[in-house]
């Protein structure tokens, strides 16, 4: 164990990196340790662009049929790892499992995305909400355990949840939205009710992620997919504050190993400095943010605190040729700049990812081009 495997004095007996991992590059980068190359995984890497995923989903019958069945969830989580040299696995599930467990009745209509049977727009509906019994989400924790076993130490497993605000958007709108009219109407006209929903969501998300950690998740990520639709001021009050509340309730380690926490707000680049104050290890960025600028703002220096950065290529790059994909990968890697090479100290690190989920129309062979280009070019950047 190197000297930087221990950074929190109060947690002297926890390791940063779990033993017995074949590939710990992703976790090292989360903790801002020097790595031999830039690790890469892709948001929604197990998904509809893969024919083998579609085949499993056809057998499962529906999205929730897939997500609630431990064997199917395990199978689809591992599918992209069998095709691509990805450096992390992410639990196959949906961000809306938590409001579903609250009794809102989640279904996925074909081609139209998630729909709830009940939406939460009135004082009475808010009064009925509470932190769900985690047993209703047992299928998720069982999936985590099963995937962890199936991975058998190949790469680390990331657990995840939607952010309190993002869950709140769906709960109030009752479905996806393009103007967020209902949730923002509630927020502006009944901020008290909105705060109640968000407090319950934050406590639910914290319990949910802690259970995932206890089931074996080696890192956790909070997806604030709709934080970026908020006005300045409202973002801080209704999204960021509740993400911080979740973070404050997460357990920092499990079985002697620390659990890094990633926060991703789509459209959050504009508030990056404030996000830099969050008690988490990694900040995810969408493609609008310049990684070099992000590194300056929150990446920290060699031996000084900062966040690891995750992102941020435009998923639409995957529709160009393998040669062009490699070129854009290079641009993103170089926008972050020189990786730090000092194995004795922490410093700025980059975890390569898309700036948002992969498109269902992505040609699967183009994903290989991306993953391989990340590994090749980032290795070269380390040969000085």
**Footprint of a second copy on this chain (CB under 8 A)?**
178-181, 184-185, 188-189, 228, 230-235, 267, 269-270, 287-290, 312-314, 316-317, 319-321, 324, 328, 331, 335, 355, 359, 361
**Between 109 and 251, whose beta carbon lies closer to a second copy?**
109
**What are residue 152's phi and psi, to 5 degrees?**
50, 40
Rounded least distance, CB 184 to a second copy, Å: 4
- Tell me which H or E stretch contains 200: helix 191-215
Q: Is 170 a catalytic residue?
A: yes
Rounded least distance, CB 379 to a second copy, Å: 23
Rounded least distance, CB 124 to a second copy, Å: 20
Distance CA 96, CA 101 (A): 9
User: Considering only CA atoms, which of 189, 259, 270 is closest in space to residue 227?
Assistant: 270
Distance CA 308, CA 262 (A): 9
CB of 164 closer than 8 Å to CB of 242? yes
The first and second tokens of residue 34, run together, are 């020097």
Rounded least distance, CB 181 to a second copy, Å: 6
CB of 103 closer than 8 Å to CB of 175? no
| Distance, C-alpha 335 to centroid of its chain | 22
Rounded least distance, CB 111 to a second copy, Å: 12
137-142: long-range contacts, CB 8 A cutoff, minimum separation 24 = 137/97, 137/98, 137/101, 137/208, 137/211, 139/67, 139/68, 139/69, 139/70, 139/73, 140/67, 140/91, 140/93, 140/97, 140/208, 140/211, 140/212, 141/211, 141/212, 141/214, 141/215, 142/70, 142/215
**Between 260 and 311, whose beta carbon lies closer to a second copy?**
311
Q: Is 44 a catalytic residue?
A: yes
**Between 122 and 135, whose beta carbon lies closer to a second copy?**
122
> 5, 83, 94, 190: which is the annotated catalytic residue?
94
> 24, 32, 37, 44: which is the annotated catalytic residue?
44
**Between 18 and 357, whose beta carbon lies closer to a second copy?**
357
What number of H helices and E strands is found in the chain?
16, 11
Rounded least distance, CB 9 to a second copy, Å: 36
Rounded least distance, CB 40 to a second copy, Å: 17
CB of 238 closer than 8 Å to CB of 281? no
> 37, 49, 170, 208: which is the annotated catalytic residue?
170
User: Considering only CA atoms, which of 302, 289, 379 is closest in space to residue 343?
Assistant: 302
**Between 22 and 232, whose beta carbon lies closer to a second copy?**
232
What is the DSSP secondary-structure string of 53-117? Answer: HHHHHHHH-SHHHHHT-HHHHHHHHHHHHHHS--S-EE----TTHHHIIIII-EEEETTTEEEES
Instruction: Please list the active-site residues.
Output: 44, 48, 57, 94, 170
């Amino acid at each position: 164990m190197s000297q930087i495997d221990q950074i929190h004095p109060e947690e002297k007996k926890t390791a940063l990196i779990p033993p017995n991992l074949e590939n710990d590059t992703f976790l090292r980068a989360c903790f801002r340790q020097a790595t031999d190359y830039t690790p890469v995984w892709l948001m929604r890497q197990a998904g509809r662009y893969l024919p083998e995923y579609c085949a499993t989903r056809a057998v499962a019958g529906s999205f929730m049929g897939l997500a609630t069945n431990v064997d199917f969830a395990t199978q689809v989580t591992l599918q992209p790892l069998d095709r691509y040299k990805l450096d992390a696995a992410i639990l196959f599930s949906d961000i809306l499992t938590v409001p579903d467990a609250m009794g809102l009745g989640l279904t996925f209509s074909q081609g139209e995305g998630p729909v709830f049977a009940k939406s939460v727009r009135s004082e009475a509906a808010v009064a009925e909400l509470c932190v769900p019994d985690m047993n209703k989400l047992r299928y998720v924790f069982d999936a985590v355990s099963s995937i962890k076993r199936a991975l058998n130490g190949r790469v680390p497993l990331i657990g995840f949840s939607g952010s309190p605000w993002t869950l709140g958007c769906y709960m109030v709108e009752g479905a996806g939205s393009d103007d967020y009219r209902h949730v923002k109407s509630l927020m502006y006209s009944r901020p008290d009710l909105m705060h109640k929903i968000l407090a319950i969501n934050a406590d639910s998300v914290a319990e949910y992620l802690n259970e995932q950690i206890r089931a074996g998740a080696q890192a956790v990520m909070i997806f604030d997919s709709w934080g970026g639709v908020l006005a300045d001021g409202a973002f801080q009050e209704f999204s960021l504050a509740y993400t911080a509340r979740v973070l404050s309730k997460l357990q920092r380690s499990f079985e002697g190993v620390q659990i890094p926490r990633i926060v991703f707000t789509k459209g959050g680049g504009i508030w990056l400095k404030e996000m830099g104050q969050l008690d988490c290890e990694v900040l995810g960025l969408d493609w609008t943010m310049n990684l070099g600028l992000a590194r300056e703002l929150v990446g920290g220096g060699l031996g000084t605190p900062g966040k690891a950065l995750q992102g941020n290529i435009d998923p639409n790059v995957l529709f160009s040729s393998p040669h062009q994909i490699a070129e854009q990968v290079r641009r993103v890697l170089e926008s972050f700049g020189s990786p730090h090479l000092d194995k004795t100290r922490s410093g700025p690190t980059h975890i390569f990812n898309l700036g948002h989920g992969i498109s269902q129309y992505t040609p699967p062979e183009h994903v290989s081009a991306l993953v391989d280009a990340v590994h090749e070019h980032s290795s070269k950047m380390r040969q000085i």
